[in-house]
Amino acid sequence: MSQHHHHVHIDPKDGDKRVAIAIWANGLLTIAQVIGGIMSGSLALIADAVHNFSDMASLIIAFAARKIARRPADPKMTFGYGRVEVVAALINYTSLIIIGLYLAYEGVLRLFDPPAVAGWGLVILGGIALVIDTLTAALTYSMQKDSVNIRALFLHNLSDALSSVAVVLGGIFILLYDIAWVDPAVTLLIAVYILWLSFAEIGKPIRTLMLGSPPDVDTDEVIALIESIDGVERVHHAHFWEMQEHQAALDIHIVIKEGCWSDYDLIKHTIKTRIDKEFGISHSTIELEYSNAKHKSASLIDHQCYSGS
C-alpha cells in the first residue's frame, strides 16, 4: 500500500540565505569563465560559463518563487501561490534544454574545425568552477528533497560540477597530447548530459501543472479503500491531483447504500480520515449521493458534463 512520506523542512530564512549565496557564487564564476574562455579560446569553458549563467538565472527565479509561494491565499488566488515553485522548475528545466541544444550545435560545428585552445586556462578555471559548483550543489542538496523548484537548481549545479570535471580533464588532455578536438568533444558531452538530465526531470512539473495524479499515490488502492468502507455502495468521478507539491487532493462522488443515509456524516469523516492517514491526501472534496438518485452512466474516472435545460 502507498504510504505518505513526511519531509524534513529547512527554515525558510536559512533556505533563502543558501540560495542567495549560490546566486553570488555563480555570478562571479560566470564572469571569470567568460573572460577565461575568450582569452584561452575554449568553447568548453564558455559552454560551462553559459551553463553557470543559466544556473544564476535559475537561482534568481527560484529565489523569487520561494518568496511568492509563501504568500497567503487571497480572493484572486484562493488556492494560494504554492504552485509558482512548480512553474519556476518548469522554466528552469526548459532553459536547460535550450542551452543543451545550443551547446550541441556549437560543439558539432567546432568538432569539424577545432580552434587552438590554451589547456592551462581550462585546467585552472575549470578547477575553480568545480569548487564553486560543488559548494552550490552542497548548499541546495538537503533542500531539494522537499521541492521540485530547488531540485531543478540542485541538478543544475550538479551538472555544472560534472561539466567542470569534464573541462579540467579536457584541459589536461590538451596539455599532454595537444589534441585540438578534445574541447568541442567535451562540449558535446556536456550538452548530452544536460539534455538527458533535463528531459528526465521535466515531466514532474508538467505532471503537476497538468493536474496529473500524485506520483506517490496508488489511485486504485485509494478507490478500493473507499469502496470497502461501510455504507459506501460505489464511487465515480474520482479526480486525483496535487494542489501543490507534496499536497495531494481528491474530488470524488460517493454513492451511499440504501438505508445508510443517516450515517452520511460518519461515512464522510471515516473516508477523509483514512485517506489522509494512509495516503497523505489532506485535501478532499466529497459529494454524497442517494443510491436511488445516482448517475447510472457515470464512469469511475472520466468527467461528464451535465447541462441543465
**Beta carbons within 10 angstroms of residue 50's beta carbon:** 19
Distances (CA, A) of 12 to 17, 63, 70, 197: 9, 11, 9, 27
**Claim to verify: residue 109 and residue 24 sit in the same structural domain:** yes
**Claim to verify: residue 189 and residue 227 sit in the same structural domain:** no
List CB contacts of 102: < 8 A, sequence separation 6 or more: 50
**Claim to verify: residue 275 and residue 165 sit in the same structural domain:** no
Q: Which domain holds residue 268?
A: 219-293
Q: What is the pTM of this model?
A: 0.70
Distances (CA, A) of 75 to 9, 79, 228: 28, 9, 38
Q: What is the pLDDT of residue 69?
A: 82
Provide the domain count of the chain: 2
**Claim to verify: residue 203 and residue 115 sit in the same structural domain:** yes
**Claim to verify: residue 137 and residue 270 sit in the same structural domain:** no
**Claim to verify: residue 18 and residue 94 sit in the same structural domain:** yes
Q: Is residue 171 part of a domain?
A: yes
Q: Alpha-carbon distance 140 to 152, whole Å? A: 10
Q: What is the pLDDT of residue 3?
A: 45
Place of cell 578555471: 125
**Claim to verify: residue 19 and residue 87 sit in the same structural domain:** yes
Q: Is residue 262 part of a domain?
A: yes
Per-residue confidence in pLDDT tens, the chain, 309 aa: 444 444 444 455 666 777 777 777 777 777 777 777 777 676 666 766 776 677 777 778 877 887 888 888 888 888 888 888 888 888 888 888 887 888 788 778 877 876 666 667 667 777 877 887 787 777 777 666 667 777 777 777 777 777 777 777 777 877 787 776 777 787 788 788 888 888 988 998 899 888 888 888 899 999 999 999 999 988 888 999 888 777 889 999 999 988 888 888 899 999 999 999 999 998 898 988 887 765 666 666 665 544 333
List CB contacts of 184: < 8 A, sequence separation 6 or more: 43, 44, 106, 107, 108, 109, 110, 111, 114
Q: Alpha-carbon distance 36 to 242, whole Å? A: 45
Q: Is residue 214 part of a domain?
A: no
**Claim to verify: residue 20 and residue 106 sit in the same structural domain:** yes
User: Which amino acid is it at 262?
Assistant: S
Q: What one-character DSSP code corresponds to residue 138?
A: H
- The alpha helices in the chain, defined as continuous H runs, are 12-40, 43-69, 84-112, 119-141, 148-177, 182-201, 203-209, 219-227, 264-279
Q: What one-character DSSP code corresponds to residue 79?
A: T
Q: Is residue 6 part of a domain?
A: no
Q: What is the pLDDT of residue 221?
A: 93
Nearest Cα to Cα of residue 163 among 138, 141, 139, 195:
195
Q: What cell does 95 get?
A: 532553459
CATH of the domain at 224: 3.30.70.1350
Q: Alpha-carbon distance 40 to 57, whole Å? A: 25
Q: What one-character DSSP code corresponds to residue 1?
A: -
**Claim to verify: residue 200 and residue 232 sit in the same structural domain:** no
Q: What is the pLDDT of residue 43?
A: 66
Q: Is residue 49 part of a domain?
A: yes
Burial class (CB in 10 A: 0-12, 13-18, 19+), 294: middle
Distances (CA, A) of 116 to 41, 154, 178, 187: 7, 33, 9, 15
**Claim to verify: residue 111 and residue 156 sit in the same structural domain:** yes
Distances (CA, A) of 45 to 33, 122, 124, 169: 6, 6, 11, 12
Q: Is residue 130 part of a domain?
A: yes
